[in-house]
Chain A
Amino acid sequence: DGGITQSPKYLFRKEGQNVTLSCEQNLNHDAMYWYRQDPGQGLRLIYYSQIVNDFQKGDIAEGYSVSREKKESFPLTVTSAQKNPTAFYLCASSGRQGALGEQYFGPGTRLTVT
């Protein structure tokens, strides 16, 4: 089955710890994205990558880091510098680079930091 997988579904961490969220896709898509969703709100873009070994900051990149060493994988690290990391994190991918690609989403990871 082709799709986007995110793991784990729920993640709990103590304040001050870095945590890495996994995103894998087997759709052979070039572009991948990370979004954050807070309760009752829409999604906001954290980082995106249109090709392997290249990525750009989105609207809320502070306190996050990413890597894109393989086409199918785009892990997101939430660092201790992120002031309010508790949120729902969604990964997406698109088969076309640039503005014309339809984006498809994974099931998300709910991160709770206490």
Chain B
Amino acid sequence: GIQVEQSPPDLILQEGANSTLRCNFSDSVNNLQWFHQNPWGQLINLFYIPSGTKQNGRLSATTVATERYSLLYISSSQTTDSGVYFCAVVAWETSGSRLTFGEGTQLTVNP
């Protein structure tokens, strides 16, 4: 099945810093989503981005489907950005909508 690798596994920032999170996947995809898991476990949808670039406030994401990677940019980070960021994909050959998750990037933003 498709493999999803996220890097870095852990990231510690000072408030106000910028960061880039990366997601590599091993095969063509129909669907790619970025999520933020807060300390209570809730998964919050950030982007649905199988290709192209999207922006939402301080966050933006780019997926280059032909090169099989996606990037999540966080600018002017805040302590509330802390948590785990997941990338998840649906492989091109999959008949259903089975999301395969990466292991996540644990982000800590210090005041």
Contacts and interface: CB of A to CB of B under 8 A. Distances in A.
Interface residues of B, number: 27
A44 interface: yes
Interface in A45-61: 45, 48, 50, 56, 58-59
Contacts of A88: 41
A97 interface: yes
Interface residues of A, number: 32
B98 A43 contact: no
Contacts of B94: 99
B97 A98 contact: yes
A42 B86 contact: yes
Interface string A9-43: 00000000000000000000001010101001111
A56 B40 contact: no
A107 B41 contact: yes
Nearest to A103: B99
Interface stretch (B11-19, B61-69, B70-78, B101-109): B101-109
A35 B88 CA distance: 12
Interface string B28-54: 001101010000111101001000000
A99 B103 contact: no
Contact of A99 (B35, B86, B97): B97
A48 B96 contact: yes
A102 interface: yes
B21 interface: no
Interface of B: 1, 4, 30-31, 33, 35, 40-43, 45, 48, 86, 88, 90, 92, 94-104
30 contacts: A41-B103, A41-B104, A42-B86, A42-B102, A42-B103, A43-B86, A43-B101, A44-B101, A48-B96, A48-B97, A48-B98, A50-B96, A58-B98, A59-B98, A88-B41, A90-B43, A92-B99, A98-B95, A98-B96, A99-B31, A99-B95, A99-B97, A100-B31, A101-B97, A102-B31, A102-B45, A102-B48, A105-B35, A107-B40, A108-B41
